[in-house]
Structure 1
Amino acid sequence: MRNACLLLPVAALLAAAPAAADVKQGVDAWTRGDYKAAVQTWRPLAVAGNADAQFNMGQAYKLGRGVQADLPAAIEWFRKAAVQGHAQAIDNYGLALFQEGKKAEALPWLEKSVARGERRTQLVLGTMLFNADGVARDWTRAYALVTRSSQQGLPQASQTLAQMDRYIPEVQRQQGLTLARKYEADARALAASLPAPRAPGATVNSAPPRAATPTGPSPAPAAATRAPLTTSGSTPPSAASPAATPRPTPAVAAPRPTPAPAPAPAASGGNWRIQLGAFRDESNARNLWAQVGSRTGGSPSYVKAGAVTRLQATGFASRSAAQAACAKARVSCVVVAP
């Protein structure tokens, strides 16, 4: 009986070896651009429960490589791998749920990803906390998470942080910086305590060779009381292991609003425009216009772009006039040339 007990782990290891090798064979085919061969290699392994193969199948369906693009199928494969603790799948599954508007379902997965220091999910969760979008408003923690994302080189995080600087009081920003340093130390300690990462070649990145780099999530949170923020873009996910959900910091009270500036002069009927945001729900675009539109002096335009509605103000005679209207709006704003 003792010999039988000792042999079980060895048998399991021997059984696992061919599967790992086959996953690597699929990655090699993917790297060569033979996406169909890669998918054919991974599918039986994914069905059998191999988390790396499940994640790779999710990438294939997400990108439409070797199979027809199918986002629901991609999300389901990411889910299967995520529940097994696959770090990259946790990242992608949380972001996909957020994009689908399932914020309550996304939150625990985003928290797991954020605990490891994943920069895309830090930006998304930080934006949610700033806007009170599916979570209680917490500007201190929002500033901490977006600061960490920015420090890790995500350009969209740096842009969002600049917006936050205009609205979050100095005291809360300093608290956020202190919390960001704690998050960085916690992530380093966690990384040091985790086992060695998966072997190279087990999974595929979001940007395969010979293919355009796919864009990441483009969340458009609901309008906040003071200043709605949006985030976009992504980078290839990291390969760190999952971690426990961090404990949220206490919510902070929003500061008293400052007096609104005088309305901008009426637009002159020119062809220059400004874009004030992009929203999944048109009602959020209209809510933002109700808050800031009068300050721009322009006329509202709700431009459909796929599933997103872009809020623009029109009728400016020149770039300088449009820039002045942006300054009056006091929200994230982009000048759009004729």
Structure 2
Amino acid sequence: MALAGTLLLMSPAVADVRDGVDAWGRGDYKKAIAEWRPAANAGDADAQFNLAQAYTLGRGVPTDIAVAEGWFRKAALQGHIAAQAKYGLILFDQHKPNDAAPWLEKASLRGEPRAQLVYGTMLFNGDGGAKDWPRAYAFIVRAAAANTPRASEVQAQMDKAIPTDQRQQGLELARRYEAEAQRPELPPEITGKPRSVGMRGTDLPPSDYDPAAPRKPEVMALAPERQPTRAQPPRVRAPAPAPTAQPARSAAPTAQPARARAPAAIATSRGGWKVQLGSFGDPANARKLWGQVGRRFAGADVQYAKSGAMTRVLVGPFASKGAAQAACGSIKPCVPVAP
């Protein structure tokens, strides 16, 4: 019993960091700095990240990007996801792609969407390493699924440049990365690590990265790779649907394909539920997908809904969420959409 009580106690460093966050929320930035600095010097990653944020924003301390970069690096070295992303973005903005790539990769694999946008573009263009179009597409579709600004536009450009088979590989990677990033972390009582009290949301300033800026990688400037000439044209597989607007929470796809099922019966009650089969930068691919799987949804209506630069494939209506899930059958991805 004594041990259980001890596990509930908050360490002094965590308490100081949380007090600093509370002070920051009240606009008392100097108080926040006074709380964070000792904890940051003692090695608390959240305090280090928050102190770096303060120097980035110039609140409670003078704006000093060099000092902020140093604190971001200290937190990043301890595995702080937001710090890894921010440190990588700073290095990229400083025209240091080789130094930025490892940090952006770490943050991307752990689900940080802005890092995914930049790192995916780097992989496409070969900045900081060799080109890897399947991985580039995997990170871009994950960034677009998280509604990261400009990610859908970049995905639409890649849809035109990357061959179908490599996009298919990228989508399979995206599903695997998503499943791995969603693995639950052990509670701090077991790991011995304090609960995260770093600043979140709008307190994290964006990178200066702009995919359209001349000094940054420009996807539109790259032409698709030429396909080898063969006696018979290569068999082209339709690309698998991209992740929906909300990141999927499913596990990685199994090695063996699911057995085909009979066409799902459509509920007679005209409810408002639908299923989304994918989201495409090229509307022709959306219609091609429906041409391939439409027979599985006998009696349902298809809708090609525009969402920014993307075209979503919506099918329905269904009487309930359960009916929508049943209609999906073995088709992946296939996500119920509420009315």
Distance 1:39 1:223 in 2: 37
1:106 equivalenced with 2:100 (yes/no): yes
Distance 2:194 2:207 in 1: 23
Deviation at 1:126, TM superposition (A): 0.6
1:39 equivalenced with 2:33 (yes/no): yes
Question: In structure 2, what residue type is equivalent to 1:218?
Answer: Y
Where do 5+ consecutive residues of structure 1 fail to align? 1-6, 230-252, 258-331, 333-338
Distance 2:216 2:88 in 1: 18
Aligned residue number for residue 207 of structure 2: 216
Pick from 88, 110, 124 the counterpart of residue 118 of structure 2.
124
How many residues align? The count is 218
User: What TM-score do the two structures reach when normalised by structure 2?
Assistant: 0.57
Map 1:1-338; keep pairs closer than 5 Å. Answer: 17-188=11-182, 191-195=183-187, 199=195, 202-205=197-200, 207-208=202-203, 214-219=205-210, 227=221, 254-255=225-226
Matched-pair identity in %: 52
Distance 1:99 1:206, change over 3 A: farther
SS at the partner of 1:192? coil
Question: In structure 2, what residue type is equivalent to 1:203?
Answer: G
Question: In structure 2, what residue type is equivalent to 1:204?
Answer: M
Aligned residue number for residue 320 of structure 1: none
Q: Are 1:222 and 1:228, in contact at CA under 8 Å, matched by a contact in 2? A: no
Where do 5+ consecutive residues of structure 2 fail to align? 229-308, 310-339
SS at the partner of 1:166? helix
Distance 1:142 1:95, change over 3 A: same
Cα deviations across residues 219-257 of structure 1 (Å, max 9, x unaligned)?
A: 55656797259xxxxxxxxxxxxxxxxxxxxxxx93359
Deviation at 1:169, TM superposition (A): 2.0
Cα deviations across residues 41-93 of structure 1 (Å, max 9, x unaligned)?
A: 21122122222111110000011111111111111001111112222211211
Question: In structure 2, what residue type is equivalent to 1:136?
Answer: A
Distance 1:224 1:88, change over 3 A: closer
Q: Are 1:22 and 1:41, in contact at CA under 8 Å, matched by a contact in 2? A: yes
Distance 1:46 1:13, change over 3 A: farther
Deviation at 1:198, TM superposition (A): 5.3
Distance 2:206 2:110 in 1: 22
Cα deviations across residues 241-298 of structure 1 (Å, max 9, x unaligned)?
A: xxxxxxxxxxxx93359xxxxxxxxxxxxxxxxxxxxxxxxxxxxxxxxxxxxxxxxx
Cα deviations across residues 276-327 of structure 1 (Å, max 9, x unaligned)?
A: xxxxxxxxxxxxxxxxxxxxxxxxxxxxxxxxxxxxxxxxxxxxxxxxxxxx
CA RMSD of aligned residues (A): 3.1
Deviation at 1:206, TM superposition (A): 5.6
Aligned residue number for residue 328 of structure 2: none
Distance 2:103 2:200 in 1: 20
Deviation at 1:193, TM superposition (A): 4.8
User: What TM-score do the two structures reach when normalised by structure 1?
Assistant: 0.58
Question: In structure 2, what residue type is equivalent to 1:140?
Answer: P
Question: In structure 1, what residue type is equivalent to 2:106?
Answer: K
Deviation at 1:181, TM superposition (A): 1.6
